[in-house]
Amino acid sequence: MSVTPDLLPATAEIFVLIMTCIILVVDTFTPEKYRASSYILTQGTLLGALLITIGLYTEQSIVTFHNTFILDPLASMLKGIIYIVVFAVLIYSKHFLQQHKMFKGEYFVLMLASVLGMMVMVSAYSFVTLYLGLELLSLSLYAMIAMQDQAKSAPEAAMKYFVLGAMASGLLLYGMSMIYGATGTLHLAEIQTNILDKFETHSLLLSFGLVFIIVAVAFKLGAVPFHMWVPDVYHGAPTAVTIFIGSAPKIAAFAMLFRLLVDGLESLHTSWQDILIILAILSMAVGNIIAIAQTNIKRMLAYSTVAHVGFILLGILSVSQSGYSASMFYTITYTIMAVGGFGMVLLLSHKGFDAERISDFKGLSTRAPWFAVMMMIFMFSMAGVPPFLGFWAKLLVLKAVVVEADMVWLAAIAVFFSIIGIFYYLRIIKFMFFDKAEDSEHLTITQGMAVTMSINGVVVLLLGLYPGILLTYCVQAITHVIQ
């Protein structure tokens, strides 16, 4: 047994880790007026990590660190998306951070730490690394939420998230311990083979552990009834943090769901399929219905997230290659749209005013027509209006449900609720284009923000026209894992 593991596949993680430490040190010795150096370093780290990940891309699965780490196309792809999304998030939030006195080194260190956590989760091939990645991500997030000075609601949001999150990770560990007891190993690959070897019949202990694990993953994703933290945290957190929580961690959560249920426990799919059906239906129903009554845009987007999570679960529960890739496609596209949607909230807010009410979007088409069109693209896409991106994502998931899982009724329920959902997206469009503006303050939109937002909108539009580009990669990545 070689003691020294192969470090090469983990170069990106090592790079981010080192850079985080460097930023921490550099920031300490940088005077206040050069604070932007930390920001630039952070962005540089993300770009560097992106280059490394692309450089390391292989068609094979490389397992290292004694079966605790895996680098496969799925991991590479999800990591790449995470960097890009976080990169955009930082650009959107820069202005907000400066105005709310959050533009400091610790924030960037925590952000990079959570990115590292996500990377670890995405590449995790053992319960231990998965759990540690999850905690690295969560702990950084708790702290980032509470960081804002003055705001009354931020610590409350952080506290709620913390207590419920800790409880969920307790449940996750409990489930993991059961699986460990039944299979005698913590490594996902061995779990899969051990289950197939040891248990001819259905094992109650395994299913039992599975329930706890699903509950924890459902919490992380925000599926009903484990979604309660989502609206409060999205609402209470500083918008710059909300955009972060609402985007990249969803990808990590998807990776976690996939690694656990498909990579590790696919042989138990008869057990988890039923549970996911319940969660998916509840999520789509509760998310879409409660979103209608919201007046705060962050809350509304939070409930819309819950509804979208229902769709992500639909893809997974169809237990098929096309379902998994549809789910992956959905997660990625949702993240891109969500970044745009929350970015718009940041774009509208200015000194002493957070554009958090939906009515703040009134008359946007006259104040900033270009951005109103961008927002319209995001909303149409989230609503699933063809031929926007969100439509393809929904279509693929539904197709998997109908064709692979043969559950027409479930697809019908999904379509029904997403039609209800169109209602509240449409309301924003109505506000933007048909109502008079209440706020006449001139919008200060930085150039970086404007460019990123435009790129973001165009990406959604283009991917809507050519969904095949992204989908092909998703299918490839999933196919590779399944084999």
Q: Rule CB under 8 A: say whether 80 interacts with another protein.
A: no
Residue 32 to residue 469: CA distance in whole angstroms? 44
| Selected binder of another protein within 434, 444, 448, 451 (CB under 8 A) | 434
Shorter beta-carbon distance to another protein: residue 46 or 116: 116
Residue 121 to residue 111: CA distance in whole angstroms? 15
Shorter beta-carbon distance to another protein: residue 88 or 311: 311
Question: Which positions from 187 through 216 interact with another protein, judged by CB under 8 A?
Answer: 199, 201-208, 211-212, 214-215
Largest CA distance in the chain: 71
Shorter beta-carbon distance to another protein: residue 88 or 240: 240
Shorter beta-carbon distance to another protein: residue 167 or 189: 167
Question: Which positions from 440 through 469 interact with another protein, judged by CB under 8 A?
Answer: 466-468
* CB of 413 vs another protein, minimal distance in Å: 11
| Site mask for another protein (CB under 8 A), range 292-331, x = bound | xxx----x----------------------x---------
Q: Which stretch binds another protein (CB under 8 A): 166-174, 348-356, 445-453, 454-462?
A: 166-174
Contacts of 122 (CB under 8 A, 6+ apart): 74, 75, 78, 79, 82, 133, 251, 252, 255
79-93 burial, b at 16+ Cβ within 10 Å, e below that, comes to bbbbbbbbbbbbbbb
Q: Which stretch binds another protein (CB under 8 A): 51-59, 79-87, 143-151, 444-452?
A: 143-151
Q: Total residues contacting another protein (rule CB under 8 A)?
A: 124
Q: Say if residue 8 is exposed, middle or buried (CB neighbours under 10 Å; 0-12, 13-18, 19+).
A: exposed
Residue 46 to residue 44: CA distance in whole angstroms? 5
Shorter beta-carbon distance to another protein: residue 90 or 168: 168
Shorter beta-carbon distance to another protein: residue 350 or 426: 426
Residue 66 to residue 126: CA distance in whole angstroms? 10
Q: Rule CB under 8 A: say whether 45 interacts with another protein.
A: no
**In terms of DSSP H, where are the helices of 71-152?**
73-99, 105-122, 127-146
Question: Which positions from 111 through 130 interact with another protein, judged by CB under 8 A?
Answer: 113, 116, 120, 126-129
Q: Rule CB under 8 A: say whether 232 interacts with another protein.
A: yes
| Selected binder of another protein within 26, 422, 437, 443 (CB under 8 A) | 422
* CB of 321 vs another protein, minimal distance in Å: 9
Question: Which positions from 327 through 346 interact with another protein, judged by CB under 8 A?
Answer: none
* CB of 135 vs another protein, minimal distance in Å: 5
- Phi and psi for 357 in degrees, rounded to 5? -80, 145
* CB of 418 vs another protein, minimal distance in Å: 9
Three-class secondary structure of residue 65 per DSSP:
coil
| Selected binder of another protein within 56, 189, 420, 443 (CB under 8 A) | 420
* CB of 292 vs another protein, minimal distance in Å: 4
Question: Which positions from 372 through 401 interact with another protein, judged by CB under 8 A?
Answer: 385-387, 396, 398-399
25's torsion region: left (phi>0), alpha (psi -120 to 50) or beta? Answer: alpha
The β-bridge relationship of strands 69-71 and 62-64 is antiparallel
Q: Rule CB under 8 A: say whether 180 interacts with another protein.
A: yes
Question: Which positions from 252 through 291 interact with another protein, judged by CB under 8 A?
Answer: 271, 274-275, 278, 286, 289-291
* CB of 59 vs another protein, minimal distance in Å: 21
| Partners of 70 in beta bridges | 63
| CA-angle at 115, arms to 113 and 117, nearest 5° | 70
**Token pair of 412, please?**
């019908």
Residue 300 to residue 394: CA distance in whole angstroms? 20
* CB of 21 vs another protein, minimal distance in Å: 8
CA end-to-end span of the chain, whole Å? 27
